[in-house]
C-alpha cells in the first residue's frame, strides 16, 4: 500500500471514530465536498462514505485544523501507522514503531501463549473480556498477565471498565501491524470482513490488495439471492401454481395499469407501471418477426428523471423490493434485484465481474451521484450496453469482462416549464464555449464554436472522426448536443504548437504499449505522453468547383457600389415594372432616369438585384462592376488551381489597401508572371514597382474579404472555402502560401511567432487534409516495440535471426535499438517494410494487424509539452457522435486540430421525466396520507403479480424447476407495431416546426422493447408457440414514445395532440 493511500484509510477511520455524524456533516459542508451538497441533513448521509469523502480530499495540515477547530470525542484513542490520537492530542506521527517493539517484547516474554491470546481476541471480533478470551484457549495460559502487558504497551485499549468486569478492544488500525508481525499464524477475523464490506468502493480501491475480495463477497451475495429465488419458486410451484396460471390467463398490461391506477391515481401509476414491466423484461426474451430473429431482446434499462420528492424512489425501489412498514409489498422478482444504495461506481465496476453470464437488475437511487466520480462514464456506458468492461487503476486492472445485467435508476435534475435539459454524461468531458470544432455543414467545412453549436442544435451536421474499427478518419453525423455546469478549464499544449482547452476530466486519445488506442483523462496526462491528432482529414465529398462572387459580396454586406450587368437584368426589370417602369422606380425609391439607364444598359445595383432575384441562381453570363472602375468581373468564377494558388499567395504575402486594392509583396519574377496571368483572366489591372504588385480591383479585394482571408497581416486566416476545395486546389493553395518565403511549418513556437494565432491553427488543419507534415510520418516507438518483440518471441528467435527472417528489410541494430528504447518514434515506411517482409504464418497475427492499422490509419501522434491551469471557470459543452448507435464518440477540435473524446449515455435507457405539477403534487400528498392511515394495502395484488412475473421469468430463462413443464416462447413483433410507431413518428415530426429534432431515433427501439416486455404478461393467454405483441402493450409503448419525444423537444408539441391524432386518447 502506498503511503498516501494508507493515510486516506487511516484518516477515514480516525474521523469516523473522533466525530459524531452531525460534526462530520458540518465538516463536509464547510469543505464544500460534492458528496455533501445533495444532503439536506446529517441523517441523510452514510457515515462510512462521509468519513471517506472527507479523508480523500484533506491534507495533514487540514486534518490538524479540523481537530483544533472541532472538539473530538473525549474517549477516542487512535494508534495508526501514520497518525496517533491520545489524551485529546493529535499527532501526525504514527504509533507503529512503538507498538511493534512492544509486540516483539511480549512475544519474547510469553512466547506462543501471546499468540493464543491474540487469536482469541480475533475470534471474538476484536473485543472481549478475560473470561471470553480464556474460554477460547484450549490449554492453560496466563491470559490475565498477557492482557495486562498488551494494555500497558497500548496494543489493547480498554473499551469498558465496571465493577469487577473489564473489556478490551484490539484497535482496527493496529490489526495490520499484528498481521504483519505474526504472519500466517493469525487468520483474518470475520468481523474485519464485515467492516470492510461496508467500506465505500472508492476506499477499497486504495485499501491495499488482499484485504477484501469484493468479487468473492458479491458471489456470496449472488448465492443468497439465488437461494431466495429458488425457495420462492419452489413454494410457488408447490402451493400457488394453478392460481398463478388462472391469474395469468386474464392478466395484461391494461389490467396492471388499472390495478396501479386505483392505488395511486392517473399520474403516479405510470411510474410503477414502468418498473413492473421492466421486471418482465429481465427475462431478456428473444424478439422475433415472421421471418426470423430481429436481434432485439426484451431487456432494457429504466431511468426516472425529475426533481427530488416526485416519487421516483417509491416506484423503482419500494414497489419492487417492498416497504412492509408502509404496507407496500414487493412486486418484483425475488432474488433478482440488487439494491445498490450507498454503493459507489468504483465498487459496482469491481463487483460487476461476479455477474458475468447472469442477468440481474441493479436498483440505484440518485444515479447522478455516480457521475461525480471522474472517469466513470465510459465503464458505466459499457455496462448499460452490456458490453465488455475494462477499467484500469494505478495498481490493478479490473476486467475485461462482459456485464449482463440491467439498471433501474433515479436521476435528479432541475426541470422547467417546457421540459428538461440533462444528459447523463460526465461533466468532466467538456470544452469551454469558444473552443472551435471543425464541422461539415450544408455549406461545407467550417469552424464553429462548440458553445454556439450546442445552443443552436443544427441538424445534419457532421464532424471528422476516426473509426475505432479501422483508425480511418471519416465523416459522422453529430447525434447529440450537451451543456454542462461551470468547470475549471485547463489547456493541453503539444509539441507541434497545437493546443486545446478542456476540463481536467476530458479525455484525449493515447496509444498503449500493446498498440491499442485508449482514452485518457487530461488529469492523467503528463509531459512526454503522445496524443492523437488527425493525420488526414476526409475531403468534402462535394468539393467546391465555383464561387458565386455576387452572393458572397451580398451575404457579407460588401455589395455597396457594386452593379450586376447581364441580359437577365432586363427580364427582372420587365417582370417588376407592373404596370410601368415609373411605378417600379417609385417602389424601389430610385429616380426614373436611373431605372431607364439600368434597363437600357442591362445593369442594376447588386443590392436591388438581390431583392428581386435569388442571387444564388445568378446566370453564368452575369458580370459585376463598380462605378469606380471600368472593368467587369465575373459574377461566377471557377475554383481552379490558379485561383487557389493566388489566394494562398495573398494569405502569405498580401493585404487590402483602402478596401479597393490588393497589394502583394512579390520578389521572384516567376511569381510576378503568374499573378499577371491570373489578373488578365479576370480583366484586373496590375501595377508593379519592383517590390509591391498592386491589383486595381475593388471586387477582387472585397471577394478576398468576403472569403475571410483577412485584410491586414495580423488578421489573416485560411478561408473556410479552402477546406472545401478539391485536393489539387488545396495543394495549389499551399504552394501559394509557401511561395516567396511563405510559412507553412509545424515547428511549434516558430508557427506562433511568425503567424497570427488563427492562421497558424488553420494551416495545421489544412495540412491534415493531405497528410503533409513532420508529425505525420512516424509512430511512437512505445507502441511498436512490444508488438515487434512479441512477433520475434512467437518463434523464439534472437534479434539477429529475426532480422534474417525478414530478409534484412530492417537491420538487427534497428530491432535492438527499438527493443531497448533508443527510438522515440519509428517511420511508417520502415514499419511497412517490416510488415511486408514477414512470412505468411506471422502476417495474420494480432500483432501484425495492429501494426498495419497504426501504419495505414489516419492517426498521427503529437507529444504533450505541458498542461496549464488557465484559472478560468466557465460553462462547458460537448457533442455526441453515435450515428445509428455506433460508438464513434470522437471529433476534431481545438487549436490546430486535436482528436477529442466525447460521451453520453441517457439514450441507453428508457427515460421518463417527473415534473412536480399540481396534479402530481396532489396525488403524492393523497398517497402519503393513505399510506400513513393504512388505506393502501397491496398485499394481495402484489403477491399475485410477483408470483406471475416470477413464474414467467423462470419459464423464459429455462429454470430447471420448470424447464420440462412449460415451453420458452419468443415475443413476435408484427408489422402493425412498426406501422403504429411510424404513424407516431410522422405525427410528431408534423408538430415540430424546425428541420431538426433533439431526440434520438433510439427512442423507437426502446418503445418496441417496452411493448414486447409488456406482452410477456400475456404468456398464459396465448396457446401459440410465441407471444404476439398485444394491442394494449403497443398503446402504452406509443404513449411513452410520444411523451418522451415531447420532453426531449422541450414540449414543442403537446403529447395529447399527437395521441389524439393517433386515436389513443
* 117 neighbors 137 (Cβ within 8 angstroms): yes
CA proximity to 443, closest of 544, 334, 297, 568: 544
Q: For the domain with range 778-856, which CATH number is right: 2.40.50.140, 1.20.1250.20, 3.40.980.10, 1.10.260.40?
A: 1.10.260.40
Find how far residue 760's CA is from the centre of its chain: 30
10-residue averages of pLDDT along the chain (1065 residues): 69 89 86 79 74 89 90 84 89 89 86 84 76 79 88 80 69 80 51 32 36 77 90 93 94 91 77 90 90 81 70 76 78 92 82 88 78 65 75 68 85 45 48 91 91 86 92 89 79 94 87 85 88 92 93 92 91 82 87 90 91 90 81 92 94 91 92 93 91 92 93 86 91 85 44 51 82 71 86 84 86 88 87 88 83 90 93 86 76 93 59 53 59 63 92 94 92 85 82 60 78 93 89 88 74 76 72
Q: What is the pLDDT of residue 243?
A: 94
Superfamily of domain 639-758: Homing endonucleases (3.10.28.10)
- Give the model's pLDDT for residue 573: 87
pLDDT of res. 20? 82
Tell me if 981 sits within 8 A of 1042, measured CB to CB. no
Q: What residues contact 21, with CB distance under 8 A and at least 6 apart?
A: 42, 43, 45, 47, 50
Q: What is the per-residue pLDDT for 281?
A: 93
> 370: which 3 cell numbers?
455516480
User: What number of other Cβ atoms are within 10 A of residue 963's Cβ?
Assistant: 13
Q: Which residues of 546-565 are buried (b: 16+ CB within 10 A; e: fewer)?
A: ebbbbbbbbeeebbebbbbb
Alpha helix (H) residue ranges in 1016-1062:
1031-1048, 1055-1061
Q: Nearest-5° angle of CA 204, CA 209, CA 210?
A: 105
The rounded distance, in Å, linking the Cα atoms of 704 and 698 is 10
Q: Which of 805, 860, 219, 796 lies closest to 494 in space, CA to CA?
A: 860
Q: What is the pLDDT of residue 184?
A: 45
Say which residues have a Cβ less than 8 Å from residue 907's Cβ, sequence separation at least 6: 480, 882, 1000, 1002, 1003
pLDDT score recorded for residue 749: 35
Residue 320 in grid coordinates: 419492487
Classified as helix, coil or strand, 691 is: coil
Q: Which of 449, 445, 487, 450 is nearest to 462 (CA)?
A: 445
Name the residue ranges covered by the structural domains of the chain.
1-74, 223-282+296-413+910-964, 425-536+863-904, 546-634, 639-758, 778-856, 972-1061
Q: Do domains 639-758 and 778-856 have the same CATH topology?
A: no
**pLDDT reported for residue 1019:** 94
Q: Judging by beta carbons within 10 Å of its beta carbon (0-12, 13-18, 19+), is residue 1023 exposed, middle or buried?
A: exposed
The correct CATH number of 425-536+863-904 out of 3.50.50.60, 2.60.200.20, 2.170.16.10, 1.20.1250.20 is: 2.170.16.10
Amino acid at each position: 500500500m502506498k503511503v498516501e493511500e494508507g493515510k486516506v484509510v487511516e484518516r477515514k477511520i480516525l474521523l469516523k471514530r473522533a466525530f459524531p455524524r452531525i460534526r462530520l456533516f458540518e465538516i463536509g459542508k464547510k469543505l464544500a465536498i460534492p458528496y455533501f451538497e445533495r444532503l439536506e441533513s446529517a441523517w441523510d448521509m452514510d457515515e462510512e462514505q462521509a468519513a471517506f469523502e472527507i479523508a480523500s480530499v484533506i491534507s495533514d495540515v487540514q486534518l490538524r485544523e479540523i481537530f483544533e477547530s472541532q472538539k473530538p470525542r473525549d474517549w477516542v484513542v487512535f494508534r495508526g501507522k501514520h497518525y496517533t490520537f491520545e489524551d485529546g492530542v493529535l499527532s501526525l506521527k504514527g504509533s507503529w514503531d512503538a507498538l511493534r517493539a512492544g509486540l516483539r517484547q511480549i512475544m519474547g516474554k510469553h512466547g506462543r501463549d501471546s499468540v493464543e491470546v491474540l487469536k482469541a481476541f480475533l475470534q471474538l471480533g476484536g473485543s472481549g473480556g478475560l473470561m471470553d478470551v480464556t474460554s477460547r484457549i484450549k490449554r492453560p495460559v496466563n491470559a490475565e498477565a498477557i492482557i495486562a502487558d498488551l494494555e500497558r504497551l497500548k496494543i489493547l485499549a480498554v473499551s469498558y471498565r465496571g465493577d469487577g468486569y473489564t473489556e478490551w478492544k484490539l484497535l482496527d488500525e493496529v490489526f495490520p501491524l499484528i498481521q504483519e508481525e505474526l504472519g500466517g499464524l493469525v487468520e483474518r477475523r470475520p468481523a474485519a470482513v464485515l467492516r470492510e464490506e461496508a467500506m465505500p468502493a472508492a476506499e477499497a480501491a486504495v485499501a491495499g490488495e488482499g484485504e477484501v475480495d469484493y468479487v468473492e463477497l458479491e458471489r456470496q451475495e449472488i448465492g443468497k439471492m439465488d437461494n431466495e429465488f429458488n425457495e420462492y419458486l419452489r413454494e410457488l410451484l408447490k402451493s400457488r401454481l394453478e392460481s398463478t396460471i388462472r391469474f395469468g390467463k386474464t392478466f395484461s398490461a391494461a389490467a396492471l395499469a388499472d390495478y396501479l391506477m386505483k392505488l395511486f391515481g392517473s399520474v403516479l401509476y405510470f411510474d410503477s407501471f414502468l418498473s413492473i414491466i421492466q421486471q418482465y423484461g429481465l427475462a431478456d426474451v428473444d424478439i422475433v418477426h415472421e421471418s426470423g430473429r430481429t436481434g432485439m431482446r426484451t431487456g432494457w434499462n429504466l431511468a426516472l428523471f425529475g426533481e427530488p420528492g416526485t416519487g421516483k424512489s417509491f416506484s423503482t425501489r419500494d414497489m419492487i423490493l417492498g416497504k412492509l412498514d408502509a404496507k407496500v409489498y414487493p412486486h418484483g422478482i425475488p432474488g433478482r434485484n440488487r439494491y445498490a444504495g450507498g454503493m459507489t461506481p468504483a465498487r459496482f465496476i469491481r463487483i460487476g465481474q461476479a455477474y458475468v453470464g447472469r442477468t440481474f437488475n441493479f436498483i440505484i437511487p440518485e444515479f447522478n451521484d455516480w457521475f461525480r466520480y471522474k472517469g466513470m462514464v465510459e465503464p458505466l456506458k459499457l455496462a448499460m450496453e452490456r458490453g465488455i468492461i475494462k477499467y484500469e487503476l494505478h495498481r490493478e486492472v479490473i476486467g475485461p469482462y462482459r456485464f449482463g445485467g440491467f439498471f433501474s435508476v433515479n436521476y435528479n435534475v432541475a426541470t422547467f416549464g417546457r421540459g428538461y435539459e440533462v444528459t447523463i454524461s460526465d461533466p468532466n468531458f467538456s470544452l469551454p464555449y469558444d473552443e472551435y470544432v471543425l464541422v461539415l455543414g450544408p455549406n461545407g467545412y467550417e469552424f464553429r464554436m462548440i458553445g454556439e453549436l450546442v445552443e443552436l442544435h443544427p441538424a445534419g451536421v457532421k464532424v471528422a472522426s476516426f473509426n475505432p474499427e479501422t483508425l480511418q478518419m471519416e465523416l459522422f453525423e453529430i447525434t447529440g448536443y450537451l451543456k454542462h455546469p461551470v468547470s475549471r478549464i485547463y489547456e493541453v499544449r503539444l509539441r507541434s504548437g497545437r493546443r486545446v482547452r478542456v476540463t481536467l476530466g476530458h479525455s484525449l486519445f493515447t496509444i498503449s504499449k500493446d498498440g491499442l488506442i485508449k482514452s485518457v483523462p487530461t488529469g492523467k496526462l503528463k509531459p512526454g505522453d503522445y496524443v492523437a491528432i488527425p493525420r488526414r482529414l476526409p475531403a468534402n465529398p462535394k468539393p467546391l468547383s465555383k464561387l458565386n462572387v455576387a452572393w458572397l459580396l451580398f451575404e457579407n454586406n460588401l455589395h455597396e457600389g457594386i452593379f450586376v450587368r447581364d441580359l437577365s437584368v432586363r427580364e427582372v426589370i420587365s417582370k417588376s415594372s407592373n404596370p410601368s417602369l415609373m411605378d417600379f422606380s417609385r417602389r424601389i425609391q430610385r429616380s426614373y432616369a436611373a431605372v431607364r439607364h439600368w434597363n437600357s444598359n442591362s445593369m442594376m445595383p447588386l443590392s436591388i438585384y438581390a431583392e428581386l432575384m435569388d442571387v444564388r441562381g445568378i446566370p453564368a453570363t452575369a458580370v459585376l462592376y463598380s462605378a469606380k472602375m471600368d472593368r467587369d468581373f465575373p459574377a461566377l468564377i471557377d475554383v481552379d488551381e490558379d485561383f487557389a494558388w493566388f489566394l494562398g499567395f495573398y494569405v502569405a504575402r498580401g493585404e487590402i489597401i483602402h478596401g479597393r486594392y490588393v497589394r502583394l509583396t512579390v520578389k521572384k519574377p516567376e511569381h510576378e508572371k503568374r499573378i499577371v496571368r491570373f489578373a488578365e483572366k479576370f480583366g484586373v489591372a496590375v501595377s508593379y514597382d519592383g517590390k509591391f504588385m498592386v491589383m486595381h480591383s475593388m471586387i477582387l479585394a472585397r471577394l478576398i474579404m468576403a472569403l475571410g482571408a483577412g485584410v491586414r497581416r495580423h488578421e489573416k486566416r485560411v478561408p473556410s472555402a479552402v477546406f472545401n476545395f478539391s485536393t489539387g486546389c488545396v495543394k495549389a493553395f499551399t504552394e501559394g502560401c509557401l511561395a516567396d518565403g511563405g510559412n507553412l511549418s509545424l515547428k511549434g513556437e516558430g508557427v506562433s511567432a511568425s503567424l497570427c494565432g488563427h492562421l497558424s491553427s488553420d494551416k495545421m488543419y489544412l495540412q491534415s487534409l493531405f497528410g503533409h507534415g513532420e508529425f505525420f510520418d512516424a509512430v511512437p516507438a512505445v507502441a511498436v516495440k512490444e508488438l515487434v518483440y512479441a512477433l520475434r518471441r512467437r518463434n523464439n528467435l534472437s534479434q539477429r535471426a529475426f532480422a534474417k527472417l525478414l530478409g534484412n528489410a530492417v537491420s538487427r541494430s534497428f530491432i535492438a535499438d527499438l527493443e531497448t528504447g533508443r527510438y522515440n518514434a519509428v517511420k511508417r515506411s520502415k514499419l511497412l517494410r517490416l510488415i511486408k517482409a514477414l512470412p505468411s504464418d506471422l502476417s495474420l497475427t494480432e500483432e501484425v494487424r495492429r501494426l498495419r492499422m497504426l501504419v495505414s490509419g489516419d492517426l498521427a501522434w503529437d507529444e504533450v509539452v505541458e498542461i496549464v491551469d488557465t484559472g478560468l471557470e466557465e460553462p462547458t459543452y460537448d457533442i455526441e457522435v453515435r450515428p445509428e448507435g455506433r460508438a464513434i464518440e470522437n471529433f476534431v477540435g481545438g487549436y490546430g486540430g486535436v482528436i477529442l473524446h466525447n460521451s453520453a449515455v441517457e439514450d441507453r435507457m428508457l427515460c421518463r421525466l417527473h415534473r412536480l405539477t399540481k396534479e402530481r403534487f396532489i396525488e403524492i400528498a393523497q398517497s402519503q396520507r393513505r399510506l400513513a392511515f393504512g388505506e393502501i394495502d397491496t398485499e394481495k395484488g402484489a403477491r399475485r403479480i410477483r408470483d406471475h412475473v416470477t413464474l414467467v421469468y423462470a419459464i423464459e430463462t429455462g429454470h430447471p424447476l420448470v424447464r420440462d413443464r412449460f415451453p420458452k416462447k419468443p415475443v413476435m413483433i408484427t408489422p402493425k407495431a412498426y406501422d403504429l410507431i411510424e404513424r407516431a413518428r410522422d405525427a410528431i415530426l408534423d408538430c415540430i416546426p424546425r428541420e431538426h429534432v433533439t431526440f434520438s431515433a433510439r427512442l423507437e427501439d426502446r418503445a418496441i422493447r417496452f411493448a414486447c416486455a409488456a406482452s410477456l404478461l400475456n404468456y398464459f393467454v396465448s396457446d401459440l408457440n410465441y407471444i404476439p405483441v398485444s394491442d394494449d402493450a403497443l398503446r402504452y409503448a406509443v404513449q411513452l414514445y410520444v411523451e418522451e419525444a415531447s420532453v426531449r423537444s422541450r414540449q414543442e408539441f403537446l403529447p395529447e395532440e399527437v395521441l389524439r391524432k393517433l386515436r389513443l386518447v
